[in-house]
Amino acid sequence: MSSENAIGRSIELDTKRSRLWRRKGADLLFAAAALAAMLAALIVLLALLGQLLFDGAGRLTWQFVTSFPSRFPEQAGIISAWMGTLLVMFLTALTAVPLGLGAAIYLEEYAPSNRLTDVIEINIANLAGVPSIVYGLMALGLLVYEFRLGQSFLTAGLTLAMLILPMVIIASREAIRAVPPQIREAAYALGATKWQTVKDHVLPYSMGGILTGLILALSRAVGETAPLITVGALSFIAFLPHPPIQSDPPFISFQWLFDPFTVMPIQMFNWVSRPQEAFHVNAAAAGLVLLGMTLLMNAAAIVIRNRFRKRVHW
Amino acid sequence: MDAEVAKSHVFEQARESLDVLVSRRKHKERAIELLLLGAAVTSIAITAGIVGVLAYESSLFFTQVSLFDFLTDRQWTPLFAEPHYGILPLISGTLVTTWVALLVAVPAGSLIAVYLSEYAPHSVREMVKPALELLSAVPTVVYGYFALLFVTPALQHIWPDLPGFNMLSAGLVIGIMIVPYVSSVSEDAMRAVPIHLREGAYALGSTRMQTALRVVFPSALSGIAAAYVLGVSRAIGETMVVAIAAGMQPTLTWNPLEPAATMTAYIVQVSLGDLPHGSIGYQTIFATGLTLLLMTLIFNIGGHVLRKRYRQIY
C-alpha cells in the first residue's frame, strides 16, 4: 500500500519534472529564435555591405570621384553628384537649423498651453509620418511652379529642409527638456531674461543632443532620393554649378542657387536602373561613397552623444 | 541743498536710463519670442502647403475623371492613347509589398525587441542597438540596389521563373529596413513595463519566456501596436526600393511573385519623364499622392486610437 503510494508520488514527480524541462526547453528555444532574428538582421546588413564592396570597390578610383557622368560606363564619375550633395546639404542645414531650433525653443520654453500650441504639436507629430515623396510633390507644386524657384539647388535644399524639420524639432525638444529646471531658476534668480537664460544656459547644455539629432536628420537627408526626383533632379549633369565665390566684385554669387542639380543617390538610382551591367558596377561604387557618408555621419552622432553624456552630470 | 537736488537728479537720470534699458530689453525679448513663434508656425505652413497643393491639383484631376472611375476602374494607364484612371492596381501593388514587408518586420522586430528588453545583458544591448539603427540609416536607394541585384538573384535560385522585377524581393528588403523602427519602439514600450510585474510572474514560477509573452508583451501592447503602425506607414510610403526592384508596370495582382507598380513607384516614374505642367498626366501624380497621404493618415490615426484604447496605467 505504502509502496504503491511512493510509486504514484514518484510518477507524479516525474511528470512535473518533465513539464519543467519542457518549459525550460521552450524558454531556451525562444531565446535562440530571438537571437537568430537579431543575427539575421545583422547578417543582412553585412551581406549588403559585402555585396556593395564586392561589386563596387574596384571601381572606386580617383578618376571615378573626379569625373562627370558619361554614357561610357568606364569613363563615368560622380563629381557633379557629390558636389551637388554637399551644396544641397549646406542649404538644407542652413534652413532646417534655425527653423527647427527656433520651433523647439519656442515649444519648450515659451509656448503657453493653448490651442495654437496643441495644433503645432499635433501637426509636427503628423508631419513626421508623412511619406517623403509627398514632400516632393508639395515642393513640385509650390516651390517649382508657384514660387518659380525652378528645378534648382534652392528647391532641393528647401525640400529636404522641410522633410527633416520634424526630426530636428523633435530631437532638439528632447535635448532642451533634459536640462533641469534648476538651471533656469538660477539664471532667473540672478535677473537674466528668458532669452538670456535660453541662450547662455539652456542651449549650451543641450547642444550635444541637438547636434546628435541634427546630424542624424542630415544623414537621412543625404540618402533621400524620391522627393528630389519629383522636384526634377537631373541624373546627367556634365558641368558644375556656378561658383559661389568670384574674383570680380561683388565676389559672392548666388547664381548657383538656380542651377540644375543632381545628388549622389540620384546618380546611383540612374545607374542601377540601366540594363547594362557595367553601369551597375558604377552604381555599387556610388553606393559605397553614399554609404560611407551616412555611416560617417552616424558615427559622428554616436561619438557626440557619448561625449556629452559623459561630461554632463546633473 | 544743491547737493541734494543734484543727487536726486543723478538718481533720476540713472532711473530713466535703466527704464530705457528695461524697456529695450522687453522689446528685444518680445521680438525674439515672435521670431521663435514664427519658426514653430512654419510647420503648420508646411502642412497647409502639402494639403493645399495635393487637394488643388487633385481637384483639377477629378473634374476630368470621376471619383467612381478612379476607385473602380481596374486599369491604370493614364499615359496611354486610351487612358484608364483606376487607382486599384497601384493600391494592390502597395498593399502587397507592404504586406510582405510586415511579414518580415513584425515577427523579427518583435522577437528582437523581446530579446533586447528581457534577455540581453546590458553590454549586448549597447552594441546591438546602434548596429540595428544602421539598418534604418542605409539610404533607400542602396536597399533598392540590394533588392534588385542580390535578393532577386538569390530568390531565383529557389523559384527559377521568378521575374527580375517582383514585389517579393522589394517587400522583403523593405521589411528588413523597417525592423529597427518596429524593434526599438517595441523595446521601449516593453522596458517601460514596471519590474514588479515581472517579479510577480517569476515568483509564481514562470520562465522568462512565459513572463515575456504573457506578462510583459500584453502590458506593452499599446506601445507595440504603435510600433507596428509606424512600420506600416513607413512601408506604404517607401519609394526607391519598389521603384528599383518591383517594376513600374501597374498590374492588378495580389501575387507577390509578379512585378507591379506601387503608388510611390508610379510617382517616381512620371517625375522622371517630362510631363508638361498642368496636363492631366501631371495631375495624376498629385491624385496618387493624395491617396497615399490619406492611406498613411488612416494608419496613423488608427495607431493613435489603438494606443489610447489599450493604454495601461500602472
Residue contact B49–A142, C-beta within 8 A? yes
Cβ proximity of B308 and B109 under 8 Å: no
A199 closest CA partner among A214, A217, A179, A228:
A179
Q: Please say if the pLDDT value at position B294 is more than 80.
A: yes
Question: What is the tens place of the pLDDT at every residue in A182-216?
Answer: 999 999 999 899 999 999 999 998 998 899 999 99
Cβ neighbours around A28 below 10 Å, total: 13
Interface of A with B in 6-35 (CB under 8 A): 23-24, 26-27, 30-31, 33-35
A178 closest CA partner among A199, A205, A201:
A205
Q: A234 and chain B: CB distance < 8 Å anywhere?
A: no
Q: Please say if the pLDDT value at position B311 is more than 70.
A: no
Give the residue from chain B lying closest to A277, CA to CA: B149
Question: How far is it, in rounded angstroms, from Cα A75 to Cα B108?
Answer: 43
Q: What are the helix (H) ranges across chain B?
A: 2-64, 67-72, 88-114, 122-137, 140-146, 152-158, 167-191, 195-203, 208-210, 217-219, 221-237, 240-245, 263-272, 280-309
Give the residue from chain B lying closest to A34, CA to CA: B111
B235 closest CA partner among B51, B105, B143:
B105
Interface of B with A in 131-190 (CB under 8 A): 131-135, 137-146, 148-150, 176, 179
Residue contact B267–A230, C-beta within 8 A? yes
In this prediction, residue B2 carries a pLDDT of 73
Give the residue from chain A lying closest to B164, CA to CA: A275
Cβ proximity of B165 and B155 under 8 Å: no
Question: What is the tens place of the pLDDT at every residue in A246-299?
Answer: 666 676 777 777 888 888 999 999 999 888 888 999 999 999 999 999 999 988
In this prediction, residue B47 carries a pLDDT of 94
Name the least confident of A8-17, A135-144, B227-236, B282-291: A8-17
Mean pLDDT on B258-278? 88
In this prediction, residue A12 carries a pLDDT of 84
Q: What is the dihedral of CA B253, B241, B47, B59, to 10 degrees?
A: -40
In this prediction, residue A158 carries a pLDDT of 95
Question: How far is it, in rounded angstroms, from Cα A159 to Cα B46?
Answer: 10
Q: Which pTM value belongs to this model?
A: 0.89
In this prediction, residue A129 carries a pLDDT of 86
In this prediction, residue A4 carries a pLDDT of 72
Q: A49 and chain B: CB distance < 8 Å anywhere?
A: no
Question: How far is it, in rounded angstroms, from Cα A2 to Cα B140?
Answer: 73
Q: A137 and chain B: CB distance < 8 Å anywhere?
A: yes
Q: Which residue ranges in chain A fall short of pLDDT 50?
A: none
| Chain A residues lying within 8 Å of B190, measured CB to CB | none
Residue contact A123–B300, C-beta within 8 A? no
Give the residue from chain B lying closest to A273, CA to CA: B244
Residue contact A142–B108, C-beta within 8 A? no
B110 closest CA partner among B209, B227, B194:
B227
Q: Quote the minimal CA–CA distance from A123 to chain B in Å.
A: 6
| Chain B residues lying within 8 Å of A94, measured CB to CB | none
Burial class (CB in 10 A: 0-12, 13-18, 19+), A295: middle
| Chain A residues lying within 8 Å of B132, measured CB to CB | 38, 41-42
Q: B36 and chain A: CB distance < 8 Å anywhere?
A: yes
Please give the C-alpha separations between residue A261 and each of A80, A91, B17, B146, B153, in angstroms, as whole numbers. 8, 13, 54, 26, 33
In this prediction, residue B1 carries a pLDDT of 59
Mean pLDDT on B65-70? 84
Cβ neighbours around B301 below 10 Å, total: 12
In this prediction, residue A304 carries a pLDDT of 86
Residue contact A52–B37, C-beta within 8 A? no
Burial class (CB in 10 A: 0-12, 13-18, 19+), A193: middle
Residue contact A131–B237, C-beta within 8 A? yes
Q: Quote the minimal CA–CA distance from A5 to chain B in Å.
A: 27
Residue contact A27–B209, C-beta within 8 A? yes
Residue contact A132–B286, C-beta within 8 A? no
Residue contact A34–B111, C-beta within 8 A? yes
Quick one: CA dihedral A291, A297, A299, A301, positive or negative? negative
Question: What is the tens place of the pLDDT at every residue in B249-265?
Answer: 888 888 888 889 999 99
Question: How far is it, in rounded angstroms, from Cα A219 to Cα B142?
Answer: 14
Question: What is the tens place of the pLDDT at every residue in B171-205?
Answer: 999 999 999 999 988 998 999 899 999 999 999 98
Any residues with CB less than 8 A from the CB of B201 and at least 6 apart, and which? Answer: B210, B211, B214, B215
Residue contact B142–A24, C-beta within 8 A? no
Residue contact B271–A295, C-beta within 8 A? no
Interface of A with B in 93-132 (CB under 8 A): 98-103, 105-107, 110-111, 119-120, 123-124, 126-127, 129-132
Model confidence at B278, pLDDT cuts 50, 70, 90, reads confident
Q: Please say if the pLDDT value at position B144 is more than 90.
A: yes
Give the nearest partner residue to A34 out of B115, B140, B292, using CB atoms: B115
What is the number of alpha carbons within 13 Å of residue B173 lying toward its C-beta?
33
**Dihedrals phi, psi of A252, to nearest 5 degrees:** -110, 130
Q: Beta partners for A152?
A: A260
Vertex B194: Cα angle to B190 and B197 (nearest 5): 100
Please give the C-alpha separations between residue A78 and each of A59, A69, A81, in angstroms, as whole numbers. 12, 6, 5
Q: A284 and chain B: CB distance < 8 Å anywhere?
A: yes
Best of A130, A132, A267 to disrupt the B interface (most B CBs within 10 Å) is: A130
In this prediction, residue A202 carries a pLDDT of 93
Q: B31 and chain A: CB distance < 8 Å anywhere?
A: no
Give the residue from chain B lying closest to A146, CA to CA: B53
Interface of B with A in 213-272 (CB under 8 A): 213, 230, 233, 236-240, 243-244, 264, 267-268, 271-272
Give the residue from chain B lying closest to A105, CA to CA: B36
Give the residue from chain A lying closest to B237, CA to CA: A131
Cβ proximity of A162 and A135 under 8 Å: yes
In this prediction, residue B55 carries a pLDDT of 94
End-to-end CA distance of chain A: 72
| Chain B residues lying within 8 Å of A220, measured CB to CB | 137
| B42 compared with A277, residue with greater pLDDT | B42
Q: A48 and chain B: CB distance < 8 Å anywhere?
A: yes
